[in-house]
Amino acid sequence: MARSSHRPAIPPIASSLARPRWSVMIPTYECAHFLPEALQSVLNQDPGPDTMQIEVIDDASTDDPAAVVAAIGRGRVGFHRQPENLGLHGNLTDCLKRARGEFIHLLHGDDQVLPDFYQAIERGFVDPEVGAAFCRWQLIDERGKLLEQAEPLVQIAGSLPDAMALLASEQRIVSPSIAVRRSVWEELGGFDQRLSSAEDWESWVRIASRHAIHYEPRVLASYRVHSASATARAMKDAREMRDTARAMAIFAPLLPPDRRAAILRAAGRRYAARSIERGRDMNEAGRYFDAHAHALMAIRFAKGPRTLRSALAIWLRLS
């Protein structure tokens, strides 16, 4: 696979530096009120500084995450503040470059891991063919209340069968649930800068095109849903869905030629249905411009009569 100019290079670590097994890199931006829970969830599983690097990388926030790190981390957690706001891509790239461990876990400051996450995921990397390992996950709200849990993909932990096709057919991984070998980021480059959202989905498919993917069916990570999150902001005018379509176009050449069309059709149907669902929600909230944008994206994903009828109903505010 040729290195794309759209993906930042992640240089190898100097041989003179100490290499822990884990790098838990915690990117933050204006989420200091959630950061104590994220940090504590990691520190509860901390095997010590020789084994795990823990560092918060703040993208020039105004809510003083440094004070949180000092209070919760008590000298155990590193802290770096960007001198100016780099944006999500820039901060994530810096996280990858600063990570010294063999395995990198990007845990956003508003998410958290559950007990046994690191031990379970590390067991997945015993197989040298595994490039990334992830677990089943759950959604929580601003107060930490459980909203839903992902359905298990398989029942027994191990390498995920037909991983690339499965992951390309739908975004099945949230960022707190996955860890990636640093050597894989060095090989394939970082997150694609053509995507302002869905950059993680494209990365997981790209990794699966070259490496085995381990799956742990236990729920061991929590992804927080709240109105100020990057995901919530990306829903405005269907930007997230436009990036979803763009991500599909970017990773399409990696898919097996004899199955490519079927995989992309399946993904298109799923995201058409999701766009229709969100369009209806936007109508109910009085966000008509955003509702119309989601209806248009639904038709872009799948042009069947059912999608057309549902999109028309959104335009006419009938649903």
- Average pLDDT value for residue range 229-256: 85
Question: Which pLDDT value is given to residue 5?
Answer: 84
| Residue 202 burial class via C-beta count within 10 angstroms: exposed 0-12, middle 13-18, buried 19 and up | buried
pLDDT value at 78 more than 80? yes
User: In one letter, which amino acid is 228?
Assistant: A
Q: C-alpha distances in angstroms, 104 versus 95, 97, 107, 139, 317?
A: 9, 10, 9, 22, 46
pLDDT value at 236 more than 80? no
Rounded to whole angstroms, how far apart are CA atoms 206 and 225? 26
What's the token pair of residue 274?
């999701």
Residue 90 pLDDT level (bands cut at 50, 70, 90): very high
pLDDT value at 232 more than 70? no
Pairing verdict, β 178-181 and 130-140: antiparallel
Question: Which pLDDT value is given to residue 110?
Answer: 96
User: In one letter, which amino acid is 179?
Assistant: A
pLDDT value at 146 more than 80? yes
Residue 187 pLDDT level (bands cut at 50, 70, 90): very high
pLDDT value at 234 more than 90? no
Strongest mean pLDDT among 11-15, 183-187, 315-319: 183-187
- DSSP letter (8 states) at residue 134: E
Residue 57 pLDDT level (bands cut at 50, 70, 90): very high
Bridge partners of residue 181, in order along the sequence: 103
Bridge partners of residue 219, in order along the sequence: 136
- Average pLDDT value for residue range 276-288: 93
2-35, pLDDT tens digit by residue?
557 899 999 999 888 889 999 999 999 999 999 9
* 277 Cβ contact list (under 8 Å, min separation 6): none
- Average pLDDT value for residue range 240-265: 96
